[in-house]
Amino acid sequence: MSQKEFFEIDVDGGKLGVARWPGRGPKLLLVHGISASHMAWSQVVEALPADAFDVYAPDLRGRGASNALPGPYGMARHVADLCALIDGVGGGPVILAGHSMGAYIGVEFGATRPAYLDRLVLVDGGIALPLPDGVTPEASLERTLGPALARLRREFASREAYLAFWHEHPAFADAAAWNEHVEAYFAYDLEGEPPHLKSRAREAAVRADGLDLMRDEMVTMIDRVTPPMLLLTAVRGLLDQPQPLMPVAAVKAKVEAIAQLAWQEIPDTNHYSITLGNGATATARAIAMFAGGA
């Protein structure tokens, strides 16, 4: 791919930071996960066919270079920011690929702004399940994002201490799961000065977005998306456990119910390595083939 550029676009409340890899192909918009940044896509971008896409990857409101943008947060707010970005770079429709929370943003984007969307790629996300009986959104949030929220409040004495913290995460404990893209991704996440370094992701944004994902209407939002969709799933979970993030039975049910939804598993991947790690090349290849840029 071409050399990365970085610019800002005006959105409600301030400036949205956006990475771009210029190309002569169609616009490809890459949307990251709940506590991530555009750097989560760096290895996928590197693996895309040369000049096949004009690639844009924002730091979402409350994260990375966009962490000073104020709330309210939530899926609709992110969709509005993405539309402002698209309008600011010449308009759509675009191909959108979203990872994790970015996939759910993509679903809401497709359901509410179809004129902006050509095709949608959902990477280990996008299929929402109803909350179990008796479980509140707040309780579910603590169960799923409690450790991530705690990390956002924590300070680290040095860059090396932060990287060491992530080296102990089950998804990155194996030396083969660590590479220069992973290290750059975590280093970009830091702000402040030693010994008071912390994540650039705002806890308020992560908490608000996490609760918004549990709205009842998210369960059926994907049913309203009419452009072609491709779902890419990892075979292991967030903590590299054998169970994937989205139950296979739920995925199969949606694929059978939605004619325009295709599905592909990316072998030997977890929720992180499907974009940062050994799954990045296969993910890039799947995106390119689906979007016509192979």
Task: Domain count for the chain, please give it.
Answer: 1
When pLDDT is averaged across residues 246-272 and rounded to a whole number, the result is 96
Q: Over the chain, what is the mean pLDDT?
A: 94
Residue type, 205: A
Q: What is the pLDDT of residue 293?
A: 52
When pLDDT is averaged across residues 265-283 and rounded to a whole number, the result is 95
Confidence of residue 225 (pLDDT cuts 50, 70, 90): very high
Q: Is residue 65 part of a domain?
A: yes
Q: Is residue 190 part of a domain?
A: no
Q: Is residue 76 part of a domain?
A: yes
* Whether the predicted pLDDT of 1 surpasses 70: no
Q: What is the pLDDT of residue 144?
A: 82
Q: 124-149 pLDDT, tens per residue?
A: 999 998 888 888 888 888 888 887 88
The CATH number assigned to the domain holding 286 equals 3.40.50.1820
Domain range for residue 63?
5-130+216-291
Per-position DSSP letters for 151-209, written without gaps between them: HHH--BSSHHHHHHHHHTSTTT-SGGG--HHHHHHHHHTEES-TT-BEESS-HHHHHHH
Q: Is residue 148 part of a domain?
A: no
Whole-structure pTM over 0.85, yes or no?
yes
Q: Is residue 191 part of a domain?
A: no
Q: Is residue 46 part of a domain?
A: yes
Q: Return the bridge partners of 261, or none.
A: 229
Which percentage of the chain shows pLDDT scores above 90? 87
Q: What is the pLDDT of residue 68?
A: 96
Q: Is residue 84 part of a domain?
A: yes
When pLDDT is averaged across residues 259-273 and rounded to a whole number, the result is 96
Q: 65-97 pLDDT, tens per residue?
A: 999 999 999 999 999 999 999 999 999 899 999
**CA 68, 127, 79: angle at the middle one, nearest 5?**
35
Q: Is residue 167 part of a domain?
A: no
Which percentage of the chain shows pLDDT scores above 70? 99
